[in-house]
């Protein structure tokens, strides 16, 4: 099932008899049962889900994501938070840490370049070192999301906040982080870190409309 293309959205209205034939709610009912069992039987999972919904309902359409993060961490009674950030968002990371500390959290922050790992040591070809393919200086020290995660694990953070990690580096960080991870800022350099801007634009709408027209003609 490709839920993103579904026009029925029976799940939004509580299921019922209008499920598409390939809907996960019918083809993977065992998964749905397992998920419900986890919500009911795992105390931590239940509390995470409960507090997430409370924060959503309380600040819906009013709170920015930074406040959502603060409120969620407070409701979960977390004391120690980690901030893993990209060097390109050093200033933003400092501001985030100040806000979190202002709300009483102990905050440990770690930069993506920690460890000073040379890109050559990762086996990167020379043409991908020093400058980007578009001519921008990107340096020779690699990002090190694995070290970021392991360091925050060592510090025993209770939740980790991502501030601008690159695509792929965020995957690595999440893979090795013992604490739960939330993304506060998703990196998108050309769009001021607003990835949705690439979709919610006039030009994308024009392209998408043309694409739909071509597909309907096949």
- What is the tens place of the pLDDT at every residue in 158-204? 999 999 999 999 999 999 999 999 999 999 998 899 998 888 876 66
Same domain? For 26 and 113 the reply is no
Interval 128-151: pLDDT, tens: 999 999 999 999 999 999 999 999
Residue 114 resides in a domain = yes
Angle at 169 between CA 51 and CA 91, to 5 degrees: 75
Residues 26 and 127 in one domain: no
> pTM value?
0.89
Residues 6+ apart with CB under 8 A from 117: 141, 142, 144, 147
Kindly state whether residues 26 and 124 are assigned to the same domain: no
pLDDT of residue 201: 78
Residue 124 belongs to a domain: yes
pLDDT of residue 113: 97
Domain count for the chain, please give it: 2
Evaluate whether residue 84 is within a structural domain. Answer: yes
- Whether residue 36 lies inside any domain: the answer is no
Q: Are residues 82 and 22 in the same domain?
A: no
Beta carbons of 53 and 130 less than 8 angstroms apart: no
The verdict on 21 and 90 lying in the same domain is no
Q: Scanning the structure block, which residue is given the tokens 């819906």?
A: 60
In the chain, which ranges are E strands?
80-85, 106-111, 130-131, 137-139, 159-163, 180-185
Query: For residues 164 and 162, what is the distance between their CA atoms, to the nearest angstrom?
Result: 6
Q: Tell whether 91 and 9 lie within a shared domain.
A: no
Rounded distance between C-alpha atoms, residue 1 and residue 24, angstroms: 7
- For residue 99, tell me if it sits in a domain: yes
Residue 201 counted as domain residue: no
CATH of the domain at 132: 3.40.50
The residue with tokens 């920690």 is 114
Any domain includes 111? yes
> 103 and 10: one domain?
no
- 14: domain range? 1-30
92 and 156 both lie in a single domain: yes
């Amino acid at each position: 099932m490709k839920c993103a293309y579904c026009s029925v959205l029976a799940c939004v209205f509580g299921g019922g008899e209008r499920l598409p034939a390939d809907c996960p709610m019918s083809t993977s009912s065992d998964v749905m049962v397992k998920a419900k069992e986890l919500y009911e039987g795992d105390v931590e999972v239940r509390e995470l889900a409960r507090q997430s919904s409370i924060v959503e309902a309380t600040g819906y359409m009013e709170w920015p994501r930074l406040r959502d993060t603060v409120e969620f961490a407070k409701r979960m009674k977390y004391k120690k938070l980690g901030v893993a950030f990209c060097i390109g968002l050093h200033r933003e990371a400092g501001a985030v840490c100040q806000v979190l500390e202002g709300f009483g959290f102990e905050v440990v922050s770690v930069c993506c370049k920690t460890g000073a790992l040379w890109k050559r040591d990762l086996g990167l070809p020379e043409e991908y070192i020093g400058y980007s393919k578009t001519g921008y200086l990107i340096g020779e020290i690699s990002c090190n999301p694995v070290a970021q995660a392991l360091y925050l694990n060592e510090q025993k953070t209770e939740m980790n906040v991502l501030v601008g990690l690159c695509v792929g580096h965020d995957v690595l960080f999440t893979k090795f982080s013992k604490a739960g991870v939330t993304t506060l800022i998703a990196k998108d350099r050309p769009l001021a870190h607003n990835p949705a801007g690439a979709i919610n634009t006039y030009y994308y709408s024009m392209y998408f409309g043309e694409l739909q027209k071509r597909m309907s003609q096949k």
